[in-house]
Structure 1
Amino acid sequence: MKRAGLVGLFAVVLIAVAGGAGAVWNEYLRAPAPRMLALPGDLIPLDSPLGRRLLAESERADHDELTGSFVPQTRKAYCGVASAITVLNAAGIADAPRDPRALFAHPHAGPGPLKTSFKGMSLNGLAGLLRAHGAQVDVVFASATDRASFRQRARENLRREGDYLLVNYQRADLGQVRMGHISPVAAYHAPSDRLLILDVAAHRYPPVWADLDKVWTAMRAPLNKKTTTTRGYLVVRGAHTVSAASPVGFDRR
Structure 2
Amino acid sequence: MTNNLFKSTQVLRSFKSAPTCAVSFYKRKLSDKLIPFSSEKGRELFRSSLKQQYMENYFSLAEQFHTQQEPAFCGLGSLSMILNALQCDPNQVWKGVWRYYDENLLMNCCVSGDQVLTKGLQMEQFWCLSVCSGLDVQLFRNSTIEQFRQHIIDSCKHQKFHIVVNFSRKALDQTGDGHFSPIGGYNPDEDMVLLLDVARFKYPSYWVSVEKLYEAMILIDKQTNNKRGYFTMRPSENASSMFYRL
Q: Fold conserved (TM > 0.5)?
A: yes
What's the CA shift string for 1:72-113, capped at 9, x where partnerless?
111111000100100001111123643222222x4xx21121
Pairing partner for 1:82 from 47, 70, 77: 77
1:100 has 2:97 as partner: no
Runs of 4+ displaced beyond 6 Å: none
Alignment correspondent of 2:27 = 36
1:251 positional shift: 2.4
Compute the displacement of 1:70 (Å).
Answer: 1.4
Equivalent pairs, count: 209
Q: Residues 110-121 of structure 1 correspond to what in structure 2 (within 5 A)?
A: 110-121=110-121
Note closer, same or farther for the CA distance 1:225–1:166 as it changes in structure 2 (3 Å cut).
closer
For the pair 1:53 / 2:53, whether they are aligned, the reply is no
Per-residue deviation, residues 108-154 of structure 1 (Å, max 9, x unmatched) = x211211011111111111111111111111111xx22111111111
Written as runs of structure 1 = structure 2, the 5 A alignment for 1:1-253 is 35-58=26-49, 59-95=54-90, 97-104=100-107, 106=108, 109-141=109-141, 144-224=142-222, 227=225, 229-240=226-237, 251-252=244-245
TM-score normalized by the length of structure 2 = 0.79
Residue aligning to 1:10: none
Distance 2:133 2:223 in 1: 33
The Cα of 1:35 is off from its aligned counterpart by: 3.1
- For residues 211 and 138 of structure 1, the distance between their equivalents in structure 2, rounded to whole angstroms, comes to 23
Distance in 2 between the 1:74 and 1:211 partners? 28
Percentage of matched positions with identical amino acids: 28
Cα distance in 1, alignment partners of residues 192 and 47 from structure 2: 13
Q: Supply the distance in 2 between the matched residues of 1:156 and 1:133 (Cα, whole angstroms).
A: 23
Asked if 2 retains the 8 angstrom alpha-carbon contact of 1:135 and 1:238, the reply is yes
**Cα distance in 1 for residues equivalent to 2:47 and 2:150:** 20
In the alignment, the residues of structure 2 paired with residue 193 and residue 181 of structure 1 have an alpha-carbon distance, to the nearest angstrom, of 22
Letter in 1 for 2:137: V
CA distance in 1, matches of 2:72, 2:81: 16
Which one has a larger percent helix, Structure 1 or Structure 2? 1
Report the Cα distance in structure 2 between the residues aligned to 1:206 and 1:238, rounded to whole angstroms: 28
1:145–1:77 Cα change, 3 Å: same
* 2:169–2:176 Cα contact (<8 Å) kept: yes
Distance 2:37 2:210 in 1: 16
Q: Cα distance 1:165–1:40, how it changes in 2: closer, same or farther (>3 A)?
A: same
CA distance in 1, matches of 2:131, 2:86: 13
Write the distance in 2 (CA, Å) between the matches of 1:226 and 1:72: 26
SS at match of 2:190: coil
Q: Which moved more, 1:109-118 or 1:207-216?
A: 109-118
Report the residue type matching 1:218 in the other structure: A
Task: Name structure 1 gaps, 5 residues minimum.
Answer: 1-33
Deviations 1:49-76 (A, max 9, x none): 1111111111111100001111111111
TM-score (norm 1): 0.77
- Between the aligned partners of 1:88 and 1:150, the Cα distance in structure 2 is 22
User: How many Å separate the matches in 2 of 1:217 and 1:234?
Assistant: 16
**Contact residue 43 and residue 209 of structure 1 kept, 8 A:** yes
